[in-house]
Amino acid sequence: MIAADPTARLLVTGGAGFIGSCYVRDVMARRDGTRITVLDKLTYAGNRANLAPVEADAEQAARFAFVRGDIADPAAVGPLVADADAVVNFAAESHVDRSILDPAAFLRTGVDGVHVLLEAVRRETERAAAGMRSRPPRLLQVSTDEVYGSVEDGFSREGDALAPRSPYAAAKAAGELLARSYHVTYGLDVVITRGSNTYGPYHHPEKLIPLFVTNALDDRPLPLYGDGMQVRDWLYVADHAAAIDHVLRRGTSGEVYNVPGSHHVPNRDVVAQLLAHLGKPWSLVRFVEDRPGHDRRYAMDGAKLALLGWTNRVAFADGLAATIDWFRANEAWWRAARSGEWDAYYERQYAGRLANADAAARATTGAEAEPADVAPGSPSAGTGA
């Protein structure tokens, strides 16, 4: 069992992305002997610089290896899984808006890629059964609350039906269902986590919080979709990474664990809080055309993970402050992330929306007013903890 082995060899796929790199940095910083190999394709979202703190530390670097490659490539995956005690799969295309613009890459990594990983784990499981290795590798598949679809009220539990509504969410649901099928059919040691909306340092600026922080720092408009009343449950990245490690080491094979956040609020409220922290005005906000099929609310019950002994540590106000401070201090990092293909993406995703919002504002009463029930910096407008 990995829990009892401080010298475990982990293969972390997608470990150069936002959550995966936090996982790698935090596990390596424990200095407990764990060895990690990262396999990452380095898509637009992957960034070797996210692993610089590990590679710059001699003791950690000696326990670390980086391989650039695709989880959908059996030749790259096979030997790495053969050398691993466990695989933690973060690799995915992760942005819902991009899945609406172009779903193909989501299916290739989220379905074909997961299948290739599972086949490699299956082969190693068979080798363990034949006495050719001491134990089979465990696979942790990182999934998402989006597989439950939009939850109008109440809190999703692990046994609830899956009802994904975007190509991203459907690919994630397919990946975890495949993983579970390999547990049932071939006896693979698989655990699955379903995390909620994660935020923190190194978050790619395409996502709500880092997009709005970096746009606000540049006094650029903030494109808020629809009425801004969609509810998300915000989870600090170090808490998400630690919960994944907890499930990897203590979770029961074949089980799914929700990883809820600690701040369950409408987007408007999050935006008001981040603007207050930045000292920027609400007038930067533009209400723009909604995301097609936009899920209104996500909310998960975390009782199963709590029973396993994990609860979050970071309150939203503290996590948001730390995140904004990090973005202020790491301007070179986020400017680099907003380069290359960024301008073309931004134009495709936002130019029409922002132009229409400006035209609508001129035609009526001006920009929408700041929500009366959400004073900047105030706590939640009242949807939950």
What residues act catalytically?
145-146, 168
Which 274-313 positions form the footprint of ligand DAU (CB under 6 A)?
Answer: 291, 298
Q: How far apart are CA 283 and CA 355, in angstroms?
A: 16
Instruction: Please give the residues from 58 up to 77 whose contact with ligand NAD meets the rule CB under 6 A.
Output: 70-72
User: Between residues 45 and 367, which has the closer beta carbon with respect to ligand NAD?
Assistant: 45
Q: Report the C-alpha gap between 47 and 286 in whole angstroms.
A: 30
Question: What are the DSSP calls for 53-66, one per residue?
Answer: HHHTSHHHHTTEEE
Minimum CB distance to ligand NAD, residue 9 (Å)? 18
Q: At which residue do the structure tokens 């929306």 appear?
A: 353
**Residues 165-224 interacting with ligand NAD (rule: CB under 6 A):** 172, 195, 197-198, 204
Q: Which of 164, 205, 223, 302 binds ligand DAU (CB under 6 A)?
A: 223
Starting at the earlier edge strand, list the strands of the sheet with 35-40. 64-68, 35-40, 9-13, 86-89, 138-144, 189-195, 256-259
User: By three-state DSSP, how is residue 194 classified?
Assistant: strand
Q: How far is the CB of 132 from ligand NAD (least distance, A)?
A: 27
Q: Compute how many residues bind ligand DAU; rule: CB under 6 A.
A: 20
**Minimum CB–partner distance for residue 196 and ligand NAD (Å):** 6
Of the candidate residues 2, 8, 10, 20, the single one contacting ligand NAD (CB under 6 A): 20
Q: Does 144 bind ligand DAU (CB under 6 A)?
A: yes
How many angstroms separate the CA atoms of 38 and 27, rounded? 13
Supply the minimum distance, in Å, between the C-beta of residue 223 and ligand DAU.
Answer: 5
Identity at 279, one-letter amino acid code: G
Q: Residue 239 Cβ, how far from ligand DAU at the closest point, in Å?
A: 14
Is 269 one of the binding residues for ligand DAU (CB under 6 A)?
Answer: no
109: which 2 tokens? Answer: 């990594």
Answer whether 275's CB lies under 8 Å from 284's CB: yes
Q: Using CB distances below 5 to 8 A depending on partner kind, what does residue 142 bind out of ligand DAU, ligand NAD, none?
A: ligand NAD
When asked if residue 142 is in the footprint of ligand NAD (CB under 6 A), the reply is yes
| Residue whose pair of structure tokens reads 């172009």 in the numeric block | 102
Q: How far is the CB of 195 from ligand DAU (least distance, A)?
A: 6
- Distance, in Å, from the CA atom of 272 to the CA atom of 274, rounded to the nearest integer, reads 6
How wide is the angle at C-alpha 276 spanned by C-alphas 270 and 277, nearest 5°?
90
Nearer to ligand NAD, 146 or 368 (CB): 146
AA letter at 261: G
Q: Choose between 204 and 280: whose C-beta lies nearer to ligand NAD.
A: 204
First to last CA, the chain: 35
User: Where does this chain touch ligand DAU (CB under 6 A) — which range of 2-10, 109-117, 206-214, 274-282?
Assistant: 206-214
- Between CA 358 and CA 366, with CA 364 as vertex, the angle to 5 degrees is 55
Q: Which of 2, 8, 10, 17 binds ligand NAD (CB under 6 A)?
A: 17
Q: Per-residue x/- mask for ligand NAD, residues 85 to 124, rule CB under 6 A?
A: -----xxxxx--------------x---x-----------
Instruction: Pinpoint the alpha helices (H) of the chain.
Output: 18-29, 52-55, 58-61, 74-82, 96-101, 104-107, 114-129, 167-186, 208-217, 237-250, 267-278, 303-307, 316-329, 331-337, 342-346, 352-363
Binding site for ligand NAD (CB under 6 A): 13-14, 16-20, 39-43, 45-46, 70-72, 90-94, 109, 113, 142, 144, 172, 195, 197-198, 204
Binding site for ligand DAU (CB under 6 A): 94-97, 144-146, 196-197, 207-208, 211, 223-225, 230, 232, 267, 291, 298
